[in-house]
Amino acid sequence: MSELNVLNYVDHTQLKAFAVWADIQKLCEEAIAYHTASVCIPPCYVKRVKETYGDQINICTVIGFPLGYSVTEAKAEEIRQAKKDGASEFDMVVNISDVKNGDFDKVEKEIAALKKEAGDFILKVIIETCYLDEVEKTALCKAVTNAKADFIKTSTGFGTAGAKLEDIRLFKREIGEAVKIKAAGGVRSIEDMEAFIKEGCSRIGTSSAVELLKGRSAKEY
């Protein structure tokens, strides 16, 4: 796979708390130039990006981010507003407190409610693997599948660790056929990205991909 083809899998990401408009513009212009899958940006920038770049960019934003413990109604309103502003993909964080309490029925109901709000748009479910044991990860694979979300995603990038290949392998064993996989958090090299894609990821969340390619020609390896 060429380095440039890898970028077709990338949600080009800028989610720093102190991101300014110049950072978001840079992100968007890189996404257009390198044909990334989307830009993943804070909700407060969605409308401005849509007004500035129109349909040149697929806009992804985050919901209940980064801790996940907002109530379902608040997360649903975030999706409704982001849809109005121009987003077409939503990366939600599960309520990790509910997960640790073992209340997987509640988690599943929340995911299903947010998928209903997202409608035909893409809902990705961040389970924040760094805080979970294997039993919890397996239960969340089932909840994501049953709730008919589009993706399961490893991490916010704000936790204690990010994506790991062993978690992708667990996802592949446990999710339903309709659910895709996104790896995020700590993906910092072309080799990392290629390894996650080979394991079955359809998306990679990273802020590093384009920077790694600047000044380099695409090569096969």
Lowest mean pLDDT among 3-17, 32-46, 49-63, 135-149: 3-17
Is 164's pLDDT higher than 80? yes
Instruction: Please state the pTM of the whole predicted model.
Output: 0.95
List Cβ neighbours of 215 (8 Å cut-off, separation of 6 or more). Answer: none
Candidates 156, 148, 44; CA nearest to 94 is 156
Q: Distance (Å, rounded) from C-alpha 198 to C-alpha 40?
A: 22
Q: Distance (Å, rounded) from C-alpha 167 to C-alpha 17?
A: 27
Catalytic residue among 11, 98, 182, 192: 182
Residue-level pLDDT at 218: 36
Q: Distance (Å, rounded) from C-alpha 50 to C-alpha 10?
A: 19
Which runs of consecutive H residues, i.e. helices, occur in 86-216?
A: 96-100, 104-118, 134-146, 165-174, 190-199, 209-213
Euclidean distance between the first and the last CA atom of the chain, given in angstroms as a whole number = 7
Known active-site residue 153: yes
Domain count, the chain: 1
Catalytic residue among 11, 85, 91, 167: 91
Known active-site residue 91: yes
Q: In this predicted model, what pLDDT tens digit does every residue of 38-80 receive, in sequence order? A: 999 999 999 999 999 999 999 999 999 999 999 999 999 999 9
Catalytic residue among 115, 137, 153, 180: 153
Q: Residue 163 in contact with residue 155, Cβ under 8 Å?
A: yes
**Does residue 67 sit within a domain?**
yes
Known active-site residue 23: no
**Does residue 164 sit within a domain?**
yes
Q: In this predicted model, what pLDDT tens digit does every residue of 96-119 receive, in sequence order? A: 999 999 999 999 999 999 999 999
**Does residue 220 sit within a domain?**
no
Residue-level pLDDT at 220: 30
Q: Residue 123 in contact with residue 152, Cβ under 8 Å?
A: no
**Does residue 218 sit within a domain?**
no
**Does residue 165 sit within a domain?**
yes
**Does residue 30 sit within a domain?**
yes
Is 20's pLDDT higher than 90? yes
**Does residue 205 sit within a domain?**
yes
Segments forming the whole domain that contains residue 209: 7-213
CATH number of the domain at 24, please: 3.20.20.70
Q: Is 14 helix (H, G, I), strand (E, B) or coil?
A: coil
